[in-house]
Structure 1
Amino acid sequence: MAELPEYKNLIGGEYRAAASGKCLDSINPSTGEVWARIPASDRTDVEAAVKAASDAFPAWSALPAAGRAHYLRKVGDIFRQHSEELTRLELLGIGCQARKSNVPSPAGGLAFLWDRAAGLTLDAVTGRSVPLDANTLGITRREPYGVVAAIVPYNSPQGMASSKASLAIAAGNTVVLKPPEQASPAILRFGELLAEVLPPGVVNMVSGRGADVGDPLVRHPDVRKITMTGAPDTARAIQRAAADNLTSCIFELGGKSPNIVFADADLDKAAYGVTTQAIYTTNAGQACVGGSRILIQRSILAEMLKRMKAIAEQIKLGDPFDPETTMGPLISQAQFDKVTGYIEIGKREAELVFGGRYGPELVPSRPGGFWVEPTLFIAKDNTPRICQEEIFGPVAAVIPFDTEEEAIAIANDSRFGLAAGLWTTNLARVNRFIRDIRSGNVWVNTYLQTRYELPFGGIKDSGYGHDDIMEFTVEKTAVIST
């Protein structure tokens, strides 16, 4: 048996094993096999990483904005130079299909995030001046928090790590990043490359189980800002832990987003949007922003279901490296068990429209993978669990409606508020829905069109704040009298 590759933490510019010497297995979700090993870190490793970040902070924060921008562009070059390797590691770790993966490409890919952060460094130091009277001037200046803890989800590890870390260090902070235990190798290899271009301690990475690494990290008194993308219950635990130190937090959490189709919509475009981009082919539905509640006006219900089924039948499960594959596996056995449990609940609560199968027979060439086919239910109303709870898999529910008022009521009947989709040609309706839907993001006649020039965040159980460079600074006021 070939020796498994073993990845290590990045602490103070050094590539280190866990202090305990323990490791965790990394599972390839398309085969179910162990393919790599990562450090099983604990409090000792967290302490070392936070100290390294604290030690690096004075020199890094004192760099002029142009100096930090220079380093950020060098990090962007890493993605351009190592895109093939980093793409391969991400696909092995999360099973996302190659042609839909949001990992780097030779054309630039995630290098853009680091280049963008480089261009924003000046914003992070720009303050205001306010004349108070003839002899007195008030000024403000933006300053970094210090050490930032960044906690990254498994469904887009390198993208989330890059977004959080690039903005935090562009603002003058230093970072301790916790990769997802289910998909750490790509980020840890990226950390090894980072050590070649960044000063030691500016970015540190510590892998391990959630409680073993995450808990001491968010409780650490030297961590002054936390940014986490993940589940609401995890955010609540972090917020309770962070309260002791009054640590500032940013949370981008789950969703149960409505995707609303009116009879006057372009039905071909809407059917494709609600079936592919919104739920199934985006990481096999493992996306907090997925439009998994599909609200369809009753007069076009039968026609839309027919079109959606035809599109779903073209989705191909399989090897993530196969260019013909359009949907990959779920990330782990635990997620497979959760999602298939919801499918069984859905069969009792609602009517199955298509799908509902799961297991090795879906991809006979890879029987160890965590395979679930695209699944759609139709519910009588918004009360079933499959309409209220985040499933985080390729499972969606259609809810019919008649009027605008009914659609708005259903859309807002959720503890989540991350996103919403609207398909219509009625401009007045568009304005009303953008105003009335309770969510952080609304897409009209499109879905999942995110751009880093625009903020992205949620309300209610979908969190608060944005991974924006200004969120990684605090404003100081001074008054000068002559």
Structure 2
Amino acid sequence: MSTFPAIDPATGQAFAEVVEMDAEQIAAVVDAAAAAYRTSHEWRFPVNRAQALRRLRELLAEHAEELARTETRDTGKPLAQARADVAVSTRYLDFYAGACDKLEGRSIPLGPETVDFTVREPWGVCGQIIPWNYPLQMITRVAAPALAGGNAVVLKPSELASQTPLRWAELAVQAGIPEGMVGIVTGHGQAGAALVQHPEIAHVTFVGSAATGTIVAKAAAERLVPVELELGGKSPNVVFADADLERVVPAVVKALIQNAGQSCSAGSRLLVQREIHDELVTRVAAAFAGLSIGPGLEDPDLGPVVAPQQLQRALSMIETARTDGARVVTGGGAPEAFPDRWYVEPTLITEVTPDMEIFTEEVFGPVLAVTAFDDEAAAVTLANDSPYGLVAGVWTSDLSTAHRVAGAIRAGQVFVNTYGVAGGVEIPFGGMKRSGYGRGKGMDAIWAYTQVKNICIAL
């Protein structure tokens, strides 16, 4: 059996082995999920699904420290952030356990001699491909609503971070989810391709890059399988001159450095009204200078990026920004304290213009690009001048400005005087433009994992 190592980004050392599954092994997992879906009759009852998801929630809570430490070793993120990921995962299970029996249909009046009504039914076996940045949160976020809707799930985690999804699947069986109903397939890109192409896969969810999402969407389209895509982002925080900078600065810093900037929803662009540009840049630079950097298990503010290729991408994009004429105010390289390791200093870059790569493309590292604007119209233009449209933040004390700008920005989520809401379990999440289509989280996710059937009865 072929395997590959799970690498701790803080040390560069292997701490586990992961199976490189071939097409035959992947087919066996999908076939087992299909068999479980067809034969686990008790799973059809919402009350049974709800009970199993609640038991899984309790098991995640019981194993919280184990899961958090595994997540940190696998991804490099600070331990406090990994613990928060466990807590958010339990909230997902709470939410979707409570949603199982809320999938109601509706009646349609066609006259006294006809009864017409709708029901929501599962798709069958859902194929799900998730990235490496939030593996525990992500498996819970996509698998819980699919299971709540009555589906089976076969999920492929990233080859860079597979450990907590594998453990999640073990706990799911302990929780009473029928054997085979949750399957995990591991490996590199070919494993994802084999999963999407399997004829038993009836619904596909992909979270990752726009380039790979395009490939997944094409493969799903060839089989006429519905697909949900949550792709990249280059999300702006738009700060007007009347904003409360005491609130803005910590939010902007957190929106960037969470998971070392390796988040599709990271607030990686800072659009600032010119009157306060210099003051805000000075404050953010000072906040960056005060951040601690180190191995995730030591629980610093900022851990390593996940792999050497991610380090090189970040450093290369910073250097390109310099060459393009932007100014690096603070950071800009790898910290001297960690030679030959995968760390990037929190980096603040100003004088960024819309034609620069650093303005339009994801870094997936702790790099913040700053651009000044003069008025509201310019702010909206800059915010929308991106191929992505995932998240945005608007900061102002004027409610009218906030309402107009939030409505004008093309993004799936817009926050006003905040950025993110502790996981956002209850609210729909997804993108516009190259950030994908479909919505996860909240009730939108469980609706996406079910389909409407109409039943018409002549009396």
TM-score interval (norm. to shorter) = over 0.9
Aligned-partner SS, 1:341: helix
- Out of 446, 450, 456, the residue aligned to residue 429 of structure 2 is 456
Relative distance call for 1:330 and 1:399 in structure 2 (3 A) is: same
Q: TM-score, normalised by structure 2?
A: 0.96
1:179: Cα distance to partner? 1.1
Matches within 5 A, 1:340-355: 340-349=315-324, 350-355=326-331
Give me the CA root mean square deviation: 1.4
Letter of the 1:444 partner, please give it. V
- Out of 177, 183, 186, the residue aligned to residue 207 of structure 1 is 186
* Range 299-308 or range 443-452, more displaced: 443-452
* Range 188-197 or range 151-160, more displaced: 188-197
For 2:419 and 2:148, locate their aligned partners in 1 and report how far apart those are by CA, in whole Å. Answer: 30
Tell me if structure 1 keeps the 8 A contact 2:88–2:137. Answer: no
* % identical aligned pairs: 38
1:369: Cα distance to partner? 2.7
1:446: Cα distance to partner? 0.8
Tell me if structure 2 keeps the 8 A contact 1:317–1:362. Answer: no
Correspondence 1:35 to 2:8: no
Partner residue of 1:339?
A: 314
Matches within 5 A, 1:30-109: 30-60=10-40, 63-101=44-82, 103=84, 108-109=87-88
For 1:169 and 1:76, locate their aligned partners in 2 and report how far apart those are by CA, in whole Å. Answer: 13
Relative distance call for 1:337 and 1:380 in structure 2 (3 A) is: closer
1:196: Cα distance to partner? 2.4
Partner residue of 1:313?
A: 289
Correspondence 1:261 to 2:234: no
- Out of 208, 211, 217, the residue aligned to residue 233 of structure 1 is 211
Partner residue of 1:329?
A: 304
For 2:182 and 2:81, locate their aligned partners in 1 and report how far apart those are by CA, in whole Å. Answer: 28
Tell me if structure 2 keeps the 8 A contact 1:362–1:373. Answer: no
Correspondence 1:422 to 2:394: yes
Any gaps of 5 or more consecutive residues in structure 2? none
- Out of 121, 136, 156, the residue aligned to residue 158 of structure 1 is 136
Tell me if structure 2 keeps the 8 A contact 1:268–1:307. Answer: no
- Out of 439, 453, 457, the residue aligned to residue 476 of structure 1 is 453
For 2:82 and 2:289, locate their aligned partners in 1 and report how far apart those are by CA, in whole Å. Answer: 21
Relative distance call for 1:163 and 1:88 in structure 2 (3 A) is: same
Partner residue of 1:115?
A: 94
Aligned-partner SS, 1:132: coil
Correspondence 1:182 to 2:154: no
Tell me if structure 2 keeps the 8 A contact 1:103–1:158. Answer: no
Letter of the 1:112 partner, please give it. R
Q: Which structure has more helix as a fraction of its residues?
A: 2
Letter of the 2:92 partner, please give it. L
Letter of the 1:278 partner, please give it. A
Tell me if structure 2 keeps the 8 A contact 1:228–1:250. Answer: yes
1:336: Cα distance to partner? 1.0
Tell me if structure 2 keeps the 8 A contact 1:354–1:375. Answer: yes
Relative distance call for 1:109 and 1:236 in structure 2 (3 A) is: closer
Matches within 5 A, 1:405-444: 405-444=377-416
1:368: Cα distance to partner? 4.5
For 1:179 and 1:380, locate their aligned partners in 2 and report how far apart those are by CA, in whole Å. Answer: 35
1:143: Cα distance to partner? 0.3
